[in-house]
Amino acid sequence: MNTFGPDNIIAIGGGSAMDAAKIMWLLYEHPEADFFAMKQKFIDLRKRAFKFPTMGKKARLICIPTTSGTGSEVTPFAVISDHETGKKYPLADYSLTPSVAIVDPMFTMSLPKRAIADTGLDVLVHATEAYVSVMANEYTDGLAREAVKLVFENLLKSYNGDLEAREKMHNAATIAGMAFASAFLGMDHSMAHKVGAAFHLPHGRCVAVLLPHVIRYNGQKPRKLAMWPKYNFYKADQRYMELAQMVGLKCNTPAEGVEAFAKACEELMKATETITGFKQANIDEAAWMSKVPEMALLAFEDQCSPANPRVPMVKDMEKILKAAYYPIA
């Protein structure tokens, strides 16, 4: 790129390709960028100590997603793997938002069924975590709800070859991306980043396996609220109930809504032949359990954790990771 000197950078592919392009764009325009400073955590993306450099002076970034999952074409995030340490770092700054997104479902028509399921469930997790995030607001709520609705209505159809449903899922991925671009994600993604890095599993599969466990965890009233000034009372259980009712599940109380929504997610996973426990990924139990403490500690430090509606402790994450090893009956 430095030799050619492009004024447009085009990223065609899934989330990994687009995330890589974001960092290439950053280093092309600012080769002096400090990775150590960029990966530091923050509470408010808009008020962080380290300022990312201004982008777009040399080139535009044009993202064209070919999978229906990450929403990276409209988000300020780039997840980068450090192969020397085996860790994944979610970098975040609005300067990393692509200049142009071209969302054309034709690119997804030949996707294999496994990729359709993995990426589609990633959309569900994006939208769900954005809806219960402490940073959720009126602007993101509508986007998150619509994405959840589209997934429940279309993912299984898309998985079974319905091309119109595949178009709907492609739209849902971008809609969910716009939701979590502002509302952020939660502890599901924090843990999934570490599981994927440790055991080299597809990201969508990791977040899907963890989702029912996280829903049930967040659905219990916490002892203390997350660190966000506008989140003045706990409401995650109520929000899960709203999602459950929106997709047609019967529930009269928040507790019923939490369980109904968690079970609906499990049923969607089973319908798309997705693993419901990491044991089904042929991971040795002893190897998994030996990694749990490290994965939990790294997840606690992950940038996605602060937006979770219930403040996750390391021991809580260890408990969830241990439970997620075993498939759902």
Query: For residue range 56-71, what is the model confidence (pLDDT) as tens digits?
Result: 899 999 999 999 999 9
- The percentage of the chain sitting over the pLDDT mark of 90, rounded to a whole number, equals 78
pLDDT tier at 296 (50, 70, 90 boundaries)?
very high
pLDDT tier at 53 (50, 70, 90 boundaries)?
confident
What would the mean pLDDT of 82-101 be, rounded to a whole number?
A: 84
pLDDT above 90: residue 175: yes
Residue with the bigger pLDDT between 227 and 34: it is 34
- The percentage of the chain sitting over the pLDDT mark of 70, rounded to a whole number, equals 96
The pLDDT assigned to 50 comes to 74
How many of the other CB atoms lie within 10 Å of CB of 44?
11
Task: Give residues with Cβ within 8 angstroms of 130, minimum separation 6.
Answer: 136, 140, 143, 144, 176, 179, 180, 183, 184, 185
pLDDT tier at 153 (50, 70, 90 boundaries)?
very high
Q: Is there a domain that residue 315 lies in?
A: no
Q: Is there a domain that residue 289 lies in?
A: no
Q: Is there a domain that residue 42 lies in?
A: yes
Sign of CA dihedral 278, 282, 283, 284: positive
Q: Is there a domain that residue 239 lies in?
A: no
Domain range enclosing 81: 8-101
Q: Is there a domain that residue 25 lies in?
A: yes
What would the mean pLDDT of 79-105 be, rounded to a whole number?
A: 85
Q: Is there a domain that residue 131 lies in?
A: no
Calculated CA dihedral for residues 239, 245, 246, 248, nearest 10 degrees: 150
pLDDT above 70: residue 252: yes
What would the mean pLDDT of 67-94 be, rounded to a whole number?
A: 85
The pLDDT assigned to 229 comes to 62
The pLDDT assigned to 227 comes to 67
Picking from 82-86, 96-100, 123-127, 170-174, which range would have the lowest pLDDT averaged per residue? 82-86
Q: β-strands 87-92, 60-65: how paired?
A: unpaired
pLDDT tier at 163 (50, 70, 90 boundaries)?
very high
Q: Is there a domain that residue 47 lies in?
A: yes
The pLDDT assigned to 202 comes to 95
Instruction: Tell me the average pLDDT of the chain.
Output: 93
The pLDDT assigned to 157 comes to 98
The pLDDT assigned to 49 comes to 67
Based on the number of CB atoms within 10 Å of its own CB, is 95 exposed (0-12), middle (13-18) or buried (19 or more)? middle
The pLDDT assigned to 192 comes to 97
Task: Give residues with Cβ within 8 angstroms of 284, minimum separation 6.
Answer: none
The pLDDT assigned to 209 comes to 98
Residue with the bigger pLDDT between 258 and 1: it is 258
207 within 8 A of 178, measured Cβ to Cβ: no
**Alpha-carbon gap, residue 212 to 129, rounded angstroms:** 12
Sign of CA dihedral 213, 219, 221, 223: positive
What would the mean pLDDT of 89-97 be, rounded to a whole number?
A: 86
What would the mean pLDDT of 202-215 be, rounded to a whole number?
A: 97
Residues making up the chain, counted from first to last: 329
Eight-state DSSP code of residue 74:
G
pLDDT above 80: residue 86: no
The dihedrals phi and psi of 111, each to the nearest 5 degrees, come to -65, 135
The pLDDT assigned to 249 comes to 97
Residue with the bigger pLDDT between 49 and 136: it is 136
Domain count along the chain: 1
Tell me the CATH number at 47. Answer: 3.40.50.1970
Please report how many Cα atoms fall inside a 13 Å half-sphere around the Cα of residue 31, on the Cβ side: 3
Q: Is there a domain that residue 184 lies in?
A: no
pLDDT above 80: residue 223: no
* Element of type H or E holding 136: none
